[in-house]
Amino acid sequence: MPRIQRAVPILVLWILCAVPAFCIERFPPPQFETDYTLKEPTTPMPRGEWLQILDVVVLVAALSLASWLVLKKRSRKAIVGLMLFCLVYFGFWRRGCICPIGAIGNISLGIFNADYGIPWVVVAFFFLPLVFTLFFGRTFCAAVCPLGAVQDIVLLKPLTVPHWLEATLRLVAWLYLSLAVLFAATASAFIICRYDPFVSFFRFSANPAMWVISISMLVIAVFVGRPYCRFLCPYGLILRQIGRISLFRVTITPDECIHCRLCEDACPFGAIDKPTVQWPQKEYAKGKRRLLLLVLCLPIFIAGGTLLGYKLHPRLAQVHPDVELARRVRLEQAGVYKERTDASDAFYASGQSQEQLYEKAAAKQKQFAVGASIAGGWMGLVAGMSLIQYSIFWKRHEYQAQRSGCVACGRCYNACPRHYIWLKKKKTG
């Protein structure tokens, strides 16, 4: 209570700073009024070539600096500083575009559609973080990604997400990635960009539904560490897999683990693995049989996923505007819909024949049949491999930051007493 009492005068003082700003004399009503309201674009305007080069240069510099701060400097404060800079630059100034996460859509479209030329800056934004992750771990997530930064900043009261829940929820991210690639490859939609939950803040504009999603995600991020990064981010998934084989990686301790257990709860993202003990022989043998069974079942998982994907393709295909328009026109013609939409009005006015529309829709559906089957098979593979992963006994002798799950935020450094000794040694030379 006394603290609050002390804080009130400070708050009042700060607020008073803004009062003089009100002392502007009012102007008489304007004489030249029109009804026209100038619309503002909701997406960032195209940028000049040099600005694009600047973006890539900033990205490389930020990735290099982040890698150095994470692996060499081991400074959480410096990482936060860089994170704030990247939040301002890539988030608020660049308004969240282009970002490597959304670039998945462009890359997928470019690979499967010869008519689409991927801008070089998109290619650079997509591949540079992957390359850095291959060498230095997920330093992009640590300090460069503006989406990660927003969530990191608002994390006030982190709750521990049990491992079983985290593992299960990650399926959603895999599904999201599969769908994002499928929709982009079929030139249907860039769902990652469309449903980016934080871009609303960067652009100060979104439709009401997106505002609800954005604010909900932000509220969740207050209690759950980086929920988007862990359970949704498709790019994060790719980085996770590359992070497994990265050349260098974050270590909690700069030299040796003394098993003090002080770092056990230091990570709000559940990315610290505890040391393991030898399993009982009986349980070990059971685990081996389970593992063998799961490996044998892997083709069934893939086949089941493929079948499910194929069966889902008519639904998924509706995301494509042509397929949806064909359905709409058909139902309008059948009298199910009495009123036309803007899209169907435009179609009728275009003079295009219904045959052409249905042919286009059918061709797109065929693409979806193939794409959805592949995506389904892929999901089956992921599910099978995940189960195999959760059935393997991993030997660990010390507390470790996960190769895949660690976002290199640097929070665990300060929990390690060896880190302080290392710092002291460094200071004293």
Partner 1 sequence: MSIEIKQQEKQSNGVGYQSAIGVAVVTAVFSIFIILLLGLNVYHTKVTDPVRMAELEKMKEQAKAYPADQILAQEIQQLDTQLRRDQFARLYFLERGTILLIVTLVLFTGSVIWAKSHRPGLPRPAPQGDLKTQQIQHASRTRLAFIFGLVLLCAGALFWIMHAPQMPAGPLYTSMDHAQSQWSAFRGPGGLGIAEFDTVPDTWDGKTSETILWKSPILLPGHNSPVVWEDRIFLTGATQDKQQVYCYDTQTGKLLWQRDVSIPVNPARDDMDIMEDTGYAANTAVTDGKRVCAIFAGGDVGCFTVEGQLLWEKHFGIPESMYGYAASLTWFENVVIIQWDVGYEGEESKLIALDWQTGDTVWETKRPVPNSWSSPTVVKIDGQYRIVTTASPFVIVYDPKTGIELYRVDCVYGDMAATPIVAGGKIFTIEPYNKLVAVDVDESLPRDDEQTRILWENDSEMPDICSPLSNGQYIWTLTTPGNLSCFDITDGSKLYTQSLKMTFQASPTVVGQRLYLLSEKGTMLLLEAGPEYKEIRRNELGEKCFASPAFQDGRVYIRGDENLYAIGKSE
Binders in 331-360 for partner 1, by CB under 8 A? 333-335, 348, 351, 353-358
- At closest approach, how far in Å is the CB of 15 from partner 1? 6
Place of tokens 């009298």: 335
114 contributes a contact to partner 1 by CB under 8 A: no
Cα separation of 85 and 292, whole Å?
Answer: 49
169 contributes a contact to partner 1 by CB under 8 A: yes
Residue type, 109: L
What string marks each residue from 384 to 423 as x (binds partner 1 by CB under 8 A) or -?
--xx--xx-x-----------------x--xx--------
> What is Dmax (Cα atoms) for the chain?
89
Instruction: Tell me which residues in 11-70 interact with partner 1 (CB under 8 A).
Output: 11, 14-15, 17-18, 20-22, 24, 27, 30-32
User: If we measure between CA atoms, which residue out of 135, 85, 60, 95 comes closest to residue 408?
Assistant: 135
**Residue span binding partner 1 (CB under 8 A) among the ranges 37-45, 153-161, 236-244, 398-406:** 153-161
Q: By CB under 8 A, how many residues form the interface with partner 1?
A: 83
What string marks each residue from 222 to 261 as x (binds partner 1 by CB under 8 A) or -?
---x-----------------------------------x
- At closest approach, how far in Å is the CB of 38 from partner 1? 11
Residue type, 56: V
- At closest approach, how far in Å is the CB of 185 from partner 1? 20
78 contributes a contact to partner 1 by CB under 8 A: no
The H or E element containing residue 272 is: strand 272-273
Would you tell me the crossing angle of helices 354-389 and 281-317 to the nearest 10 degrees?
Answer: 170
Nearer to partner 1, 113 or 318 (CB): 318
Please provide the distance, in angstroms rounded to a whole number, between the alpha carbons at the two ends of the chain. 45
The strand ranges marked E within 356-411 are: 400-401
Residue type, 233: C
What string marks each residue from 275 to 294 as x (binds partner 1 by CB under 8 A) or -?
-xxxxx--x-----------
What does each C-alpha distance from 272 to 88, 251, 396, 403, 412 come to in angstroms? 29, 10, 11, 9, 9
